[in-house]
Structure 1
Amino acid sequence: MRTYPIPFNEEARLRSVFAVPGLNEANGGVFDAICEATRKILDCPIAHISVVEGDTQWYKSVVGIELGRMPKSNSFCTHTIMSGKPMVVPDLSKDPRFETHPMVAEGGPGARFYAGVPLVLSSGQRFGSLCGLDLVPHEAPSDHQMSILIDLGKAVVAALEGIPPKPVEQTEDEDAKSTFITLIGHELRTPLTILFGSLQLQEAVADQGTNKALISSARKSTEHLMGLVETIITYSNASTGELSLNEQVCELEGILQGVCELVLPGVDGELKSITFNEGSLPPPLFIDPDQIKLALHALALNAINHGGQKISLASRIDASGNIELSITDDGTLDENLELAALYEPFVVGGNINERGTRGGLGLGLPLTRKLVELHGGEFEVQAAENSTAAIIRLPAWRMRTA
């Protein structure tokens, strides 16, 4: 499993990172001075200014240790950039997110204390962090210490962007907006499609009496749509293309049962239902239940529209302790579809609208992948001769955190 989450707006974030002229690996004395101040404020032997790119992390300045460019799997700052708030971990070995992290677990350098603030460009995108590290646990820093660290982080950004004397020109990232609107627009249409299909069928068989299953699907879809609109309003930012998680401890069983209650017609007009193969239901999870529900509903609707006649939903704990949720149908993928292309970075434009597939895949795939990666998980499609499975894999620490 990956050891880090990926921002929903990762493509837009990277565009902002690469657009800052001062954001290169050439160091300057001002950045070393800021890191030295960070060490003293936090009473840490190590401090650095990190820059998080697509697959790696490098350092604008490091004091107290020698560090070169490293894979993001060795990074703590990939977690810090997920929100605009500081991240403080008094003992990394006791945090479920990091207890098996390569920088923490036995055989690594034995990092224990971390305190960092995200570095936010004038575009609103977060590119890295200013942080302090230690090999022994610490008490959490005081509010006063963290407020100084936040101010030092702002000084880093000001120095990089040239404020003063020449501010970076602030421009709207139209691609970020387009990506956000396209993905979210699809998810707004998903419950509407369920609602509309249920009402159409109910209207067509009105003289035969009421179909309770269709009415139930329509009602649940309406509730889902209302909740989705509220979530988007509360936890998203269209200007930067960002979507934040509203994480909470919740039971997965209710979410899975809700998906299985969908009864809708496929492209052939015949009603399709989803069966639940009860496996190893995990204990309560620390997730955003609305976003996981969105991901599963998108996959279920794709299976209904594009897949075979038999659709099943299953959950299990894999050999590594991670949580797996899968939707499988007995359809097959289009022979012209290259599975490898499904995992490339998402780009708005022709690509998203040309994802003509069968076997449980469709437009919901890019959004599902982003929502899963936002949780620090992985998304995979497995194609067999007589079936297609879409698998959501969530990291084991989401059970331990709960």
Structure 2
Amino acid sequence: MRTYPIPFNEEARVRAVQEVPGLTRENHAVFDAICHAVAALLDCPIAHVSVVEEATQWYKSVVGIELGEMPKDSSFCTHTIMSDSPMVVTDLSAHPRFSEHPMVAEGGPGARFYAGVPLVLSSGFRFGSLCALDLQPHKAPTDKQIEILSHLGDAVVAALEKAPPGNAAAVPETAQRNFLALVGHELRTPLTVMRGALELIVGRLDDPINTRLAESARKSTEHLNKLVETILRYSDVSTGDMSLDETPVRICDMLAQMQEAHAPSVDELNKVLIPPICTVSDAILADEGHLRICLTSLLLNAVLHGGDEIGLKAELDTAGHVVISVLDNGRLDDAVELHRLYEPFAVGGELSERGTGGGLGLGLPLTRKLIELHGGELQIESSAEGTAARIRLPKWRYQTKRTH
């Protein structure tokens, strides 16, 4: 399984990286000087300026070790570029996310300490990091050390862009705030009216079936309202990026809630949503809103286009990764190009035993991107028994313990 997450705006981010004027493979003394300052600041033998592209990571400058271009599976900086905040790991071997990382595990160089700041272009895109490494664990850097490291990162960006850092950021930030305020108002208002109306309808209905359907619609409206709030809070309009709101999530509870919310509408279609099977006993560290978006999309695809029996399942695979599946007993036609199911506005060809009406447009691409943002993978599998849409999340999300 892939060992790194993928930014939500990866395609645009990579294009922005390739357009930076000073971002060439040729090194300059100024970047070496900055790296030496970082190594001294954090008392580490190794420091570098990394550049993270689509499939690899390379170095504008490295001091203390010889490093060439490497796959992103061997990179720490692919994690650093996932947010604007510094990433500090005092002992990589003791951290569930990195204990089996190729640079940490037995047979590798034995990295133990990492401290880095993302390098953020004036356009808002993150292209790499300025970081320090050691083969020994460290105490956490002080706030002052991290502040200085961040300023040195700004100097790297300024040298590459040939302009003072941050000058171009003011206008996008203002535009972003205005855009989010406008969109937020336009989306929240009708949702508030819909939710209130449905609550009134639920209170006035006597027929059990209609009451159940209205209650299901009300819960779906609440889910949509939470989705809008999540997108507005954690999206960056200027770059098209999205961040995670990570909290402990109990998958078994989530699947049970989805069963309760969607069973009435599934019944009306003369289909069956069987009770979920879940053996993931502990919470996982994830963005609950994003997972609900993904599972809802996959479930609705199965309901609208799949067989007459649909099920939800969560388990650990043999490697310890978390696997959440949406299963149905419909079959994909042999002519279907599965890879096209991940493309926006594509329906993947003709479908057998399932209609294509309204289907497979943006749901699967959005789901794939949100799962990759978690460092996971989305797989669609078809067999004689049916179709399975599987979300696979890295095992460190299950092993990382968090308290609330």
Q: TM-score range by the shorter chain?
A: 0.7 to 0.9
Aligned 8 A contact 1:265 1:271 in 2 = no
Q: Which residue of 1 aligns with 2:223?
A: 224
**Structure 2 vs 1, CA of residues 110 and 57 (structure 1 numbering), >3 Å: closer, same or farther?**
same
Matched, 1:157 2:150: no
In 1, distance between residues paired with 2:168 and 2:252? 49
Aligned 8 A contact 1:356 1:362 in 2 = no
Aligned 8 A contact 1:122 1:170 in 2 = no
Q: Which residue of 1 aligns with 2:236?
A: 237
| Per-residue deviation, 1:396 | 0.8
| Per-residue deviation, 1:401 | 1.0
Calculate percent identity across the aligned residue pairs.
55
Q: How does 1:18-167 map to 2 (within 5 A)?
A: 18-163=18-163
**Structure 2 vs 1, CA of residues 233 and 255 (structure 1 numbering), >3 Å: closer, same or farther?**
same
Aligned 8 A contact 1:52 1:58 in 2 = yes
For residues 269-290 of structure 1, what are the alpha-carbon distances to aligned partners after superposition, in whole Å with 9 as ceiling and x for unaligned?
7243422342422411111111
Aligned 8 A contact 2:340 2:348 in 1 = no
**Structure 2 vs 1, CA of residues 372 and 210 (structure 1 numbering), >3 Å: closer, same or farther?**
same
In 2, distance between residues paired with 1:281 and 1:354? 32
In 1, distance between residues paired with 2:162 and 2:222? 48
**Structure 2 vs 1, CA of residues 209 and 150 (structure 1 numbering), >3 Å: closer, same or farther?**
closer
For residues 289-342 of structure 1, what are the alpha-carbon distances to aligned partners after superposition, in whole Å with 9 as ceiling and x for unaligned?
111111000000111111111111111110000110101111122444211344
**Structure 2 vs 1, CA of residues 303 and 41 (structure 1 numbering), >3 Å: closer, same or farther?**
same
Q: Which residue of 2 aligns with 1:362?
A: 360
Q: Which residue of 2 aligns with 1:256?
A: 255
Counterpart of 1:77 in structure 2: which amino acid? C
Counterpart of 1:320 in structure 2: which amino acid? A
What TM-score results when the alignment is normalised by the length of structure 1? 0.85
In 2, distance between residues paired with 1:207 and 1:89? 58
Aligned 8 A contact 2:337 2:349 in 1 = no
Structure 1: segments with no counterpart, 5+ residues: none
Counterpart of 1:396 in structure 2: which amino acid? K
**Structure 2 vs 1, CA of residues 306 and 357 (structure 1 numbering), >3 Å: closer, same or farther?**
farther
Residue 274 of structure 2: SS of its match in structure 1? strand
**Structure 2 vs 1, CA of residues 299 and 353 (structure 1 numbering), >3 Å: closer, same or farther?**
same
Residue 384 of structure 2: SS of its match in structure 1? coil
Aligned 8 A contact 1:123 1:170 in 2 = no
Q: Which residue of 2 aligns with 1:13?
A: 13
In 2, distance between residues paired with 1:125 and 1:264? 44
Aligned 8 A contact 1:285 1:399 in 2 = yes
Deviates more, 1:377-386 or 1:121-130: 377-386
What TM-score results when the alignment is normalised by the length of structure 2? 0.85
Residue 117 of structure 1: SS of its match in structure 2? strand
In 2, distance between residues paired with 1:83 and 1:54? 17
In 2, distance between residues paired with 1:58 and 1:282? 40
Q: Which residue of 2 aligns with 1:323?
A: 322
For residues 365-397 of structure 1, what are the alpha-carbon distances to aligned partners after superposition, in whole Å with 9 as ceiling and x for unaligned?
101111111111111010113411000001111
| Per-residue deviation, 1:260 | 1.6
Aligned 8 A contact 1:309 1:331 in 2 = yes
- The CA RMSD over aligned residues, in Å, is 3.0
Aligned 8 A contact 2:247 2:288 in 1 = yes
In 2, distance between residues paired with 1:93 and 1:85? 22
**Structure 2 vs 1, CA of residues 207 and 400 (structure 1 numbering), >3 Å: closer, same or farther?**
closer
Aligned 8 A contact 2:259 2:276 in 1 = no
Residue 320 of structure 2: SS of its match in structure 1? coil
In 2, distance between residues paired with 1:218 and 1:119? 44
Q: How does 1:140-219 map to 2 (within 5 A)?
A: 140-163=140-163, 210-219=209-218
Q: How does 1:288-299 map to 2 (within 5 A)?
A: 288-299=287-298
**Structure 2 vs 1, CA of residues 283 and 28 (structure 1 numbering), >3 Å: closer, same or farther?**
same
Residue 219 of structure 1: SS of its match in structure 2? helix
Counterpart of 1:88 in structure 2: which amino acid? V
| Per-residue deviation, 1:213 | 3.0
In 2, distance between residues paired with 1:374 and 1:168? 27
| Per-residue deviation, 1:238 | 1.9
| Per-residue deviation, 1:265 | 5.5
Aligned 8 A contact 1:264 1:272 in 2 = no
Aligned 8 A contact 2:335 2:349 in 1 = no
Aligned 8 A contact 2:5 2:78 in 1 = yes
Aligned 8 A contact 2:120 2:157 in 1 = yes
Residue 275 of structure 2: SS of its match in structure 1? strand
Given the alignment, which residue of 338, 348, 352 partners 2:345? 352
In 2, distance between residues paired with 1:64 and 1:207? 75
Structure 2: segments with no counterpart, 5+ residues: none
In 2, distance between residues paired with 1:209 and 1:251? 30
Residue 263 of structure 1: SS of its match in structure 2? helix
**Structure 2 vs 1, CA of residues 164 and 237 (structure 1 numbering), >3 Å: closer, same or farther?**
closer
Counterpart of 1:352 in structure 2: which amino acid? F
In 2, distance between residues paired with 1:293 and 1:326? 13
Aligned 8 A contact 1:214 1:263 in 2 = no
In 2, distance between residues paired with 1:83 and 1:382? 32
| Per-residue deviation, 1:164 | 6.2
In 2, distance between residues paired with 1:209 and 1:382? 38
Residue 345 of structure 2: SS of its match in structure 1? helix
Counterpart of 2:8 in structure 1: which amino acid? F
